[in-house]
Amino acid sequence: MKKFTLTLCSVSLVALTACTDPAYVTGDGGGNKTVNGAIIGGILGAGLSAATKNDPLIGAAVGAGAGALIGNNLAKQEAELRAQLDDDVRIENTGDRLILTMPQDILFDVDSANVSASLTDDLGKVASSVNQYPDTTVQILGHTDNTGSAEHNKGLSQRRANAVADVLMDGGVPFGRIEAIGRGEDQPIASNLDDAGRRQNRRVEIVILPNATT
């Protein structure tokens, strides 16, 4: 346990040093996201090695390297998608995943699960990007506001997630890399008490997750 604790301290110290290195500081924060990936990878690598009775220092080093690579790839993919997609698509890079949020008002007509022709092109670009980064999986999360019954909203959100998944698969993304999930009204990001809030809650999120390295 002492060895493991010291290893974590070592990883943290290296990571903190990297964060203060000017080479890691960029105008768009991309370098910091790479460091975040290295920190996460280093800690997980150390934990995995300790759990399997291997040298946690080696595991931390390997994990940090893998995490930095993941961070680099996500930053690169984020920049490419921002240059390609419509401004209505919001992109968030958390350091360990990309989250693309598309308002359902522009994706679908009211109470419909047919993808708007105007967004098909953007989804095709997302599919192309996903194909260029094969070591990832994609979660498609459908969300609604609380208008109507919870059961109806759950079914509608699932149909809409499935519809987006179908477009990505038409773009060449393998079925096995995609998971479509309908969240219904259960995860609002704004108040459902006014039109503006309900509009934010009606959304589809495409989450691009790097596969765990072994």
Residue 36: what pLDDT? 57
Which pLDDT belongs to residue 49? 47
Does the structure show a pLDDT above 80 at 84?
A: yes
Instruction: Give all strands of the β-sheet with 178-184 in edge-to-edge order.
Output: 90-93, 98-103, 203-210, 136-143, 178-184
Task: Pick the more confident residue, 130 or 2.
Answer: 130
Instruction: Give yes or no for a contact between 118 and 102, defined as CB atoms under 8 angstroms apart.
Output: no
pLDDT of 27 over the 70 cut? no
Going from the C-alpha of 41 to that of each of 16, 58, 195, 203, the distances in angstroms are 14, 12, 41, 31
Residue 1 vs residue 82, higher pLDDT: 82
What pLDDT shows up at residue 1?
Answer: 53
Q: CATH topology for 96-210?
A: 60s Ribosomal Protein L30; Chain: A; (3.30.1330)
Q: Report the chain's mean pLDDT, rounded to a whole number.
A: 78
State residue 32's pLDDT score: 58
pLDDT number for residue 21: 40
User: In the chain, what are the domain boundaries?
Assistant: 96-210
Span 123-181, pLDDT tens digits: 999 999 999 999 999 999 999 999 999 999 999 999 999 999 999 999 999 999 999 99
- Mean predicted confidence (pLDDT) in 78-95: 93
Q: Positive or negative CA dihedral for 141, 146, 151, 152?
A: negative
Q: What local confidence, expressed as pLDDT, does residue 37 receive?
A: 54
Predicted pLDDT of residue 104: 82
47 or 122, higher pLDDT: 122
Stretch 51-64: mean pLDDT, rounded? 51
Q: For 12-16, 75-79, 194-198, 202-206, which range has the lowest pLDDT when averaged over its residues? A: 12-16
Distance CA 106, CA 127 (A): 18
Question: For the chain, what percent of residues have pLDDT higher than 70?
Answer: 67
For 106-126, what is the mean pLDDT?
87
Percentage of residues in the chain with pLDDT exceeding 90?
49
Q: pTM for the complete prediction?
A: 0.71
